Chains A and B, each alone.
Chain A
């Protein structure tokens, strides 16, 4: 019996000849990520546990993003504690305003193919886009890794998702992952790994795959994995021969196999207030909107800004709609400036904000109130996520979001 991709990663890490789902193993952690919201709690727990030294300060990444720039005076305390922690432990991998943690982790090469990475954020699953096993944990568990470099995990079952063919025009990886979450349900992959393959997946850019691994958690998954290919190697700056082992065996055993024809996918939204409440955009008639958000660790990359700019170039956002655009990182922001996308977006009426988590986590930069409706490219439409509990959030692709901003209602790109 062969092994799945996640089993291969765990076997290599633990130097075991074989592992099987359900087995509890201790892994050596290759990298950890802590963000500004949780650093005070991590620092407290680390001390309380009796640790004084990090197991390996090069393997620790501290990123400020949820509170950047601050929107309340209490937020500053998080930076003061983070700064002190970084100084005390001589942290070199430290970003104060460079972008959203999940973007920076692969962009800066902290999370590489075959690594095992944990972060204090549920969307840590994002690094699966380069074949890295990464998952979210809480701050107590993070504190124990900082001291020991190790963590126990249960070897997960794997759901194989195979998509062959060519996606229809304007259908993006966001539409694909939303449909998959709808089919799986918000808990359909709980404790399990989603392993993506097929010719439609091969065609996708690393950025598009990132959108899918980012949202794997929305079906409850522990990871959303893509086997590395040439595109991955170029993005992650690794050699194909060094990552060739990172693929599932032909005879690997899966708990479920889902097979799709790429041609069957359509533009979709996740309707309020559940990520698995999926509806075709063509079925959503005359849903007037107040705001559009294009950004986040799900869809704030260059190809997303490009897609939105191409639709908005030379047009105007509907007069009653606020369009907020948040690039996922400083480097993406700069590239989008150089490519002219930011000019196109601003001329169309967009407000462009500093890269960060602000609106997606309901803290800043465009929060909404009762009765308002937003089309957003981020990953969660939970009750109260982007403002009050009576805000309606429709999750969609950047193309749908941009087209809707012009129309003033939800429409297909």
Chain B
């Protein structure tokens, strides 16, 4: 089972897609051009501080707002390992799975974790923080199939005989 450990950035409730990536940057050519502006309305310095393997922990309704898929893509391109939140907005949830960005719903972790803390995740099993284990629910099989294929593009390539 996959396990990983990362440093935590804490964001609040209702982090919307306009905060994750404002519309004015959506016409930039690539997600790599856009990623420096991630979270800029809220914390302009954040994108520059995030390091490979870091983890975002947030409150309820993470990713609410528009259908822009650049939102999960940018988080993935910042090499954030996963987002742990009390809940996720529907479209953001689907877009993240389709792009292979791991999301974990947990009802209480946000209330105890502080920015700069370290958490460990055992996929579909538990999160460990300050020596305490927090159980997580496994994702449904059909979503795990997409994640295991490496995202929806790869799943479709397989269907079309490209892999």
Number of A-B contacts (CB under 8 A): 128
Instruction: Chain A residues near B142: list those with CB within 8 A.
Output: 24, 152
How many chain B residues touch A (Cβ–Cβ < 8 Å)? 42
Nearest CB in chain B to that of A70: its residue = B27
Are A222's CB and B90's CB within 8 A? Answer: yes
The segment from A46-54, A278-286, A342-350 that touches chain B is A46-54
Judged by a CB distance under 8 angstroms, whether A274 is at the interface is yes
Judged by a CB distance under 8 angstroms, whether B11 is at the interface is no
Judged by a CB distance under 8 angstroms, whether A361 is at the interface is yes
CB-contact partner of A136 in B67, B98, B151, under 8 A: B67
Given contacts A136-B91, A222-B90, A383-B41, whether A120 and B27 have CB atoms under 8 Å apart is no
Size category, A interface = 35 or more
Are B19's CB and A384's CB within 8 A? Answer: yes
Instruction: Chain B residues near A362: list those with CB within 8 A.
Output: 18, 22-24
Judged by a CB distance under 8 angstroms, whether A341 is at the interface is no
Are A361's CB and B23's CB within 8 A? Answer: yes
The segment from B46-54, B113-121, B129-137, B153-161 that touches chain A is B153-161
Judged by a CB distance under 8 angstroms, whether B122 is at the interface is no
Closest beta carbon of chain A to B13's beta carbon, Å:
8
SS class, residues of chain A in contact with chain B: loop
CB-contact partner of B18 in A74, A137, A140, A385, under 8 A: A385
Nearest CB in chain B to that of A75: its residue = B27
Judged by a CB distance under 8 angstroms, whether A316 is at the interface is no
CB-contact partner of A50 in B23, B87, B151, B162, under 8 A: B162
Judged by a CB distance under 8 angstroms, whether B65 is at the interface is yes
Closest beta carbon of chain B to A129's beta carbon, Å:
19
Within 8 A of B (CB), among A190-230: 190-191, 220, 222
> Can you show 22 pairs from A to B with CB atoms below 8 A apart?
A38-B69, A48-B153, A49-B152, A50-B159, A51-B156, A75-B27, A122-B65, A135-B90, A137-B67, A138-B98, A141-B98, A143-B153, A144-B152, A191-B90, A220-B89, A220-B90, A361-B23, A363-B24, A380-B65, A382-B19, A384-B19, A385-B18
Chain B interface (Cβ < 8 Å from any Cβ of A): 14, 16, 18-19, 22-24, 26-29, 40-42, 60-61, 64-69, 87-91, 94-95, 98-99, 140, 142, 151-153, 156-157, 159-162
